[in-house]
Structures are given as C-alpha cells and as structure tokens.
Amino acid sequence: MSDLDHAALLRRAIDLSQNAREKGNHPFGAILVDRNGTIILEAENTVTEDNDETSHAELNLISEACRRFSAEERRQTVMYASTEPCAMCAGATFWAGIRTVVYGLSEEGLYGITTQGRENPAVLKLSCREVFAAGGSHETAVTGPLLEEEARKPHIGFWSAYRRPS
C-alpha cells in the first residue's frame, strides 16, 4: 500500500470536509480506500444535521465500513482523514480493524484554531498515535500530518463563529 497517492487521496478527504462545512456541519471528511487506492467509502461530519456530537466523519465512515465489509477486508484498507482522528475516532478505527491511517491537519493544529479566543474550551488532548499505541501488538500505521495548510483551510473562520449547543 506504499504506492498510494497520499496527496490526491487526502485532498479528496479535505474536499469532503469543505462539503460538510457548506452543509452547516463541522469541517471534517474521511475516505476509505482499498489496497489499490480505489475509494470504497466516503463520509462527512454530520454533527449538526444529526444533532449528535459523535457523528464525526471518521466514525460515520467506520460504521458504514463495518456494515459493508468483513474484518479481514477492513484490515486491508487505508483511512484518509482531513484532520487527525480524535481519541473517539481513533478508538473506533482500532476496534474496526483498520490498521493504516493517513491524515492532514494535526490535532495540535486543529486545537490552535478551535480554541482561539475561547475560555476553558472542552478538548481531549490525546493524539491518535497514543490511542493506537495502547493496542499493543495490533499496530496501526499512521502517516501525518500531511498537506496541513490545505487541510486547515476549511476550518478558517468556522470555529470563531461556531457556538457549541448547551
């Protein structure tokens, strides 16, 4: 799977993050590809439209992947995420058996945008690498951050205007 075009595939996930934003959702996107680099699933964040704080792009993607593909098939895939998977999404990735992840914007880069000007923001600072490392011998390969400036663009201006529902 080392022959995959990370830039092109990651740009598709970034495009999905912009699509999510245009629909009023948080700007995150994710895709799942097979070992040949063919996109087999796409998902966007649907937190706002679902009124569900757990409807992250990666979790939406993983739920659909578990419905469609066997555990063995999932182990042969790569997930591309516009932004580093949060602890919840990394945990779901691990449990679904997806063992390769490529992401754009880092967690730290995202927090630099989302917490700006907010007093006492709710953040769970736990990198996906830390979550995956807890998996012991069930290793998950992680590549990222990549294309951080491109992955950052859908977030610019979104979070300063966003107000989390009480």
Our answer to whether residue 58 is catalytic in this structure is yes
Which H helix or E strand runs over 80?
A: strand 78-83
* Cβ contacts of 27 within 8 Å, gap of 6 or more: 17, 18, 20, 21, 45, 82, 154, 155, 158
Backbone angles phi and psi of 105, in degrees to 5: -70, 130
CA quadruple 87, 127, 39, 150: dihedral sign: positive
Question: What is the pLDDT tens value at each position of the chain, 166 positions in all?
Answer: 568 899 999 999 999 999 999 999 999 999 999 999 999 999 999 999 999 999 999 999 999 999 999 999 999 999 999 999 999 999 999 999 999 999 999 999 998 888 766 666 667 789 999 999 999 889 999 999 999 999 999 999 998 877 655 4
Q: Which of 44, 58, 84, 107 is catalytic?
A: 58
